[in-house]
Amino acid sequence: MSKRPLGCLFEIVETLVLTLIIFFVIQTFVAQPYRVEQVSMERTLEPDQYVLVDKLTPRFDDYKRGDIVIFDPPSTWAGGRGTPYIKRIIGLPGDTLQIRDGLVYVNEIALEEPYLYDGQPTVATGGEDQWVIPPDQLFVMGDHRSDSADSRVFGPVPRDRVIGRAWLRYFPLSTFGVLPTPTYPELAGTPGAGASSPAPGSPEASTPAP
């Protein structure tokens, strides 16, 4: 009789350990929930909404223009304070990106950006208004351009600092839905219009949710 409680306890501990291992693997390599904290992605994403971040598919289907991504801001950016940011990819490796007359130009073509907060113009908030995006880096901006610290200030983000692609808004339930990636037909046929650099291993802000 004394062995049965010990056996039951062992099974419970074994189940808990296995559950923790599975949870760790999923959070690290597959998907992770994040809570949006600031206003830089309004009205696409509002503060206190929760999104599910896809860490798996970018390994074989690399980030595209228009994707919403979670990333660690550059270590040289003092405003980051170690908190992940959430922004939209606007420039891909090899792009020449310029801000002028309230618009974003990619390779001399003005982008159509219907997701912008109240259709507000885009202005250069740092000391530059033109960038050539280096290999393996991404130029990101918030949809609320007048209230977003982004690549206009700290420059393009190295790809290895990107945590994953936000693809599902799941809370509040009234906002549940997949986050669409916009298309940019005006860029069709231009270099770099489709995708960014190959994924490694392939043939403002958000915090991890509890």
CATH number at residue 124: 2.10.109.10
The active-site residue out of 64, 87, 151, 206 is 87
pLDDT in the model for residue 77? 72
Q: How far is 182 from 21, CA to CA, in rounded Å?
A: 36
Per-residue pLDDT at 166: 96
With beta carbons less than 8 A apart as the criterion, state whether 199 and 138 touch.
Answer: no
pTM to 2 decimal places: 0.82
What the block records as the tokens of 183 is: 């298309």
Instruction: Give the pLDDT of residue 21.
Output: 66
Low-confidence ranges of the chain (pLDDT < 50): 1, 194-203, 210
| Residue 10, in any domain of the structure | no
Check 40, 151, 197, 206 and give the catalytic one.
40
Whether 87 sits among the annotated catalytic residues: the reply is yes
Question: Residue 116, exposed/middle/buried by CB under 10 A (0-12, 13-18, 19+)?
Answer: buried
How far, in Å, are 37, 40, 61 from residue 149 at the CA level? 14, 8, 27
Task: Name the amino acid, one letter, at 22.
Answer: I
Task: Give the per-residue pLDDT at 170.
Answer: 95
Residue 112 lies in a domain: yes
- CB atoms inside a 10 Å sphere around CB 44: 21
3-state class (DSSP) for residue 207: strand
**Residue 196 annotated as catalytic:** no
Residue 14 belongs to some domain of the structure: no
Q: Which two tokens stand for residue 160?
A: 């290895």
- 149 within a domain of the structure (yes/no): yes
| Residue 164 domain boundaries | 34-208
Q: Is residue 130 part of a domain?
A: yes
- 139: Cβ contacts below 8 Å, ≥ 6 apart: 89, 90, 91, 92, 95, 97, 131, 133, 151, 156, 157
Domain count of the fold of the chain: 1
The answer to whether residue 6 is domain-embedded is no
Across-strand partners of 99?
A: 104
Residue 159, pLDDT score: 95
Q: Is residue 3 part of a domain?
A: no
**Sole residue written with tokens 């994953």:** 164
CB 162 within 8 A of CB 74: no
Q: Contact, 1 vs 37, CB < 8 A? A: no
The predicted pLDDT at position 11 comes to 74
Q: What residues contact residue 96 under an 8 Å CB cut-off, 6+ apart?
A: 106, 107, 108, 130, 131, 132, 133
24 assigned to some structural domain = no
Question: CA-to-CA distance for 65 and 35, rounded, in angstroms?
Answer: 23
Quick one: tokens of 14?
Answer: 């074994």
Segment holding 62, helix H or strand E = none
Find the largest Cα–Cα distance for the chain: 82
Helix (H, G, I), strand (E, B) or coil at 10: helix
